[in-house]
Chain A
């Protein structure tokens, strides 16, 4: 069974070389949706800049909006939040921005590119382990959620995100709180790279988002720890000031913030903001 995650990874690598922005339409599900604005329908192209961890859920949101408005095409540009913020600063045309933490949104708001961001989700780190758990990391006997120091009792090879990206900022906060700042062996450029190394069994453990654990399904083991709650990162969303398709942008944000949208966000493994 060892080969399955590896193959999946190689496939992921190939996709990465391509650029998997486009999501698949849900398999023939017909759902009756209420039109939040009551308008006759939106048209044109809607460009959404979103954190990589939002790929699945925003694809779903976009599909629903397109079903509702046959004239509308939603284009999802997913990448690291910081890279997206930098692109926006350089004048990339977009309608909606949804980074993985408030810091990146603040950067864009400070640059006068967006106003009034609203939080719609949050994410927490978990300690992901390869299936065969080479370092023998175990949940302690005591009741309740353990601290990360209780999990990392032995010298292990640990991958985390680089402090420059949101998941790395969260990881740094977790490790600082536990006095384990020296433990990481590598600072990866994004959370998927951390997950890759866990899936390959090249590290004993990695700090990844709960949503990534959900995506990886049964290919990793994940342990929760106390410090994650305090270090959680919140996802803001905002319509951009220079949005070419402001109307559709607002509809997208409204849908994300609606009960329906929150349900989709929760289904993907996110927490309430």
Chain B
């Protein structure tokens, strides 16, 4: 299918804004690189909290992505395929975390899952479980903020997918669940993958909801963005180094995954 195309020439009216766009997005990164205190990088990285925060960030973002997949893919299916009433309202509600300031999202999570929250107080009374200020809270906060990215992406893929494949599967004896597993999901796999990457990246950078709902404690709830923010208060240079670490790790991960997926997508 994919044959090498002759390089599409960019129309001049697009070229200038596109170049400005690139500059706008890339120059701040260049700024970080230029201003980084390269001589003391090793020392900064050796600081005890850095590895801890990085590990916590990667683990919690990955768990948040897995949780988003488990909950978000079925939700996207409901939004894309079911004919129930109030679906557009549901879609609007699902995308609320995209526009809600994350700090407010963190407060909202307290109201539900906090010690005094609707569900949280029951968890506390019945099982003695309290969520805030634990790594669980970090994962929940990140999921809350990042899952809409996955849902929106997967829903788009489901809408674009040819539903006749599902009809074919039905005529071959596959019930709806089997059809979903063996046909629909593989068909929208690229959309799911793209959504998962967005979700992971968003979770990795999540700050507001995390510091509000999960607090900030080294080793349990202090993720890289929190460490960066607090370092900024005292030592901007340390913050730059930490940001570069986060940047390098996320870029490396995304490139690695992209190659993996691209390799599989092209026959």
Check A-B contact in the complex, CB < 8 A.
yes
A: residues with CB less than 8 A from B are 2, 6, 9-10, 13-14, 16-17, 80, 82-83, 86, 89, 134, 157, 159, 162, 164-165, 184-189, 193, 196-197, 200-203
Set B110, B218, B226: member contacting A202, Cβ < 8 A: B110
Contact: B215 with A164, CB < 8 Å? no
Min CB distance B246 to A, Å, is: 18
Min CB distance B261 to A, Å, is: 37
Set A165, A186, A193, A201: member contacting B114, Cβ < 8 A: A201
Query: Measured between alpha carbons, how far is A165 from B226 in the docked complex, in Å?
Result: 13
Dominant secondary structure of chain B at its interface with chain A: helix
Contact: A83 with B233, CB < 8 Å? yes
Contacts beyond the supplied A187-B218, A187-B230: 14 A-B pairs with Cβ under 8 Å: A9-B107, A13-B101, A17-B103, A80-B233, A162-B233, A185-B133, A188-B215, A193-B211, A193-B212, A197-B215, A200-B107, A201-B116, A202-B116, A203-B133
B: residues with CB less than 8 A from A are 101, 103-104, 107, 110-111, 114-116, 130, 132-133, 211-212, 214-218, 221-222, 226, 229-234, 236
Set A186, A189, A200: member contacting B221, Cβ < 8 A: A186
Residues of A within 8 A of B236 (CB): 86, 89
Query: Measured between alpha carbons, how far is A134 from B231 in the docked complex, in Å?
Result: 33
What number of A-B contacts does a CB cutoff of 8 Å give?
Answer: 81
12 contacts between A and B (CB under 8 A): A6-B111, A14-B104, A16-B103, A157-B133, A159-B215, A164-B233, A164-B234, A165-B233, A187-B215, A189-B211, A189-B233, A196-B107
Contact: B101 with A185, CB < 8 Å? no
Residues of B within 8 A of A14 (CB): 104
Contact: A202 with B132, CB < 8 Å? yes
Set A83, A159, A197: member contacting B232, Cβ < 8 A: A83
Contact: B115 with A202, CB < 8 Å? yes
Contact: A200 with B229, CB < 8 Å? no
Contact: B234 with A82, CB < 8 Å? yes
Min CB distance B112 to A, Å, is: 12
Query: Measured between alpha carbons, how far is A200 from B133 in the docked complex, in Å?
Result: 14
Residues of B within 8 A of A159 (CB): 215
Residues of B within 8 A of A202 (CB): 110, 114-116, 132
Min CB distance A90 to B, Å, is: 8
